[in-house]
């Protein structure tokens, strides 16, 4: 009896000591934010499938004064899709196969990485599968790109506590942003960029501030804050909402809080300055207020998609203490 017990124990002990399965090595991925590698035959890229792919993925990024694509596409023919080329962080890969399928895989050939593999017997099937799954694919790409952007910001995050102390929130942003205005209920931080600047402002409002027509009130509040706190370069100039470009309005939840998000274009009254903005009005029931956080950029000589993506990503990750 004792020998049997010892034998069983030894088997159990040896089983526990068996070497673990060796993890597969994955190289680090690479690519600029919002860039996507597309792999398909050259004939397909120059034909209907390529045209459809570009139309679906290069649709305009919302809220910019001039159209810029939501994603920048890099085309590769299958014969060169080897080695280092497979380390791209985002890949859309078309493969001819008897099975028609659209599948997304994480960390397939590198990390972090999102690969969408579209299989089917011809280009028509590929185009159909991509169109049917484009909303899911674009949402997944945006989520992964925001995660990657935050990872990069964490390499050199700010240690300033102006926003935290004033509004009891945590907001992750790079050290390149510096406070340019801090009053009792208004904080403005700014990041210098070549021939321009990127900006974040935050302030709070009474809980009854959005009574009536919400869309109208959001724009009225923006304009009143611009007059009071955001002057232009010339005397008597100030920021207002550009009415010639119709804003985009969204209603969503942030950390379970009702949030109105507005994307549009700002301008400076009595001056020639303009650019895009994204405005979040977050209902903070616990503190009986609306917390407003807005990002806007001024960079007349450059594209603005990536600048607004950074501002949007920073605000999306705000945490209430």
pLDDT tens digits, the chain, 321 residues: what are they?
443 333 333 333 334 444 454 567 899 999 999 999 999 999 999 999 999 999 999 999 999 989 999 999 999 999 999 999 999 999 999 999 999 999 999 999 999 999 999 999 999 999 999 999 999 999 999 999 999 999 999 999 999 998 999 999 999 999 999 999 999 899 999 999 998 999 999 999 999 999 999 999 999 999 999 999 999 888 899 999 998 888 999 999 998 999 999 999 999 998 888 999 999 999 999 999 999 999 999 999 899 999 999 999 999 999 998
Does 162-320 match 35-153 at the fold level? no
Domain boundaries, the chain: 35-153, 162-320
pLDDT for the residue numbered 231: 92
What is the fold of 162-320?
A: Protein Transport Mog1p; Chain A (3.40.1000)
User: Dihedrals φ, ψ of 195, to 5°?
Assistant: 60, 35
What sign results for the dihedral spanned by CA atoms 285, 286, 287, 292? negative
285: which DSSP letter? G
pLDDT for the residue numbered 255: 86
Q: Residue 16 is inside which H or E element, if any? A: helix 2-16
What sign results for the dihedral spanned by CA atoms 279, 155, 169, 318? positive
Contact between residue 134 and residue 60 where contact means Cβ atoms under 8 Å apart = no
What is the C-alpha separation between 267 and 131, in angstroms, rounded? 37
Pick the CATH number of 35-153 from 3.90.700, 3.30.379, 3.30.720, 3.40.50: 3.30.379
pLDDT for the residue numbered 11: 34
Torsion of CA 244, 245, 246, 252, to 10 degrees: -140
pLDDT for the residue numbered 26: 92
């Amino acid at each position: 009896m004792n020998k049997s017990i010892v034998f069983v124990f030894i088997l159990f002990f040896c089983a526990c000591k068996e070497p673990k399965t060796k993890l597969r090595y994955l190289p680090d991925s690479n690519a600029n934010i919002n860039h996507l590698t597309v792999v398909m035959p050259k004939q397909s890229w120059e034909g209907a499938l390529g045209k459809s792919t570009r139309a679906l993925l290069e649709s305009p990024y919302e809220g910019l004064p001039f159209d810029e694509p939501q994603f920048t596409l890099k085309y590769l023919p299958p014969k060169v899709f080897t080695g280092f080329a497979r380390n791209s962080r985002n890949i859309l890969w078309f493969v001819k196969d008897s099975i028609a399928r659209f599948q997304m895989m994480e960390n397939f050939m590198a990390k972090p990485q999102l690969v969408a593999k579209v299989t089917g017997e011809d280009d028509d099937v590929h185009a159909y599968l991509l169109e049917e799954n484009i909303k899911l694919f674009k949402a997944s790409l945006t989520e992964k790109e925001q995660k990657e952007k935050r990872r990069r910001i964490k390499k050199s995050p700010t240690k300033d506590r102006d926003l935290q102390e004033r509004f009891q929130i945590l907001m992750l942003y790079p050290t390149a942003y510096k406070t340019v205005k801090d009053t009792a209920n208004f904080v403005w931080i700014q990041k210098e960029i070549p021939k321009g600047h990127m900006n974040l402002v935050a302030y709070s409002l009474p809980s009854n501030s959005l009574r009536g027509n919400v869309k109208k009130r959001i724009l009225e509040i923006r304009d009143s804050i611009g007059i009071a706190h955001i002057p232009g370069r010339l005397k008597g100039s100030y920021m207002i909402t550009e009415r010639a470009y119709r804003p985009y309005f969204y209603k969503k939840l942030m950390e379970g809080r009702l949030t109105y998000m507005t994307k549009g274009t700002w301008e400076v009254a009595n001056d020639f300055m303009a650019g895009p903005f994204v405005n979040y009005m977050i209902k903070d029931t616990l503190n009986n207020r609306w917390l407003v956080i807005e990002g806007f950029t001024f960079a007349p000589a450059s594209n603005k998609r990536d600048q607004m993506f950074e501002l949007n990503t920073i605000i999306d990750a705000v945490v209430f203490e």
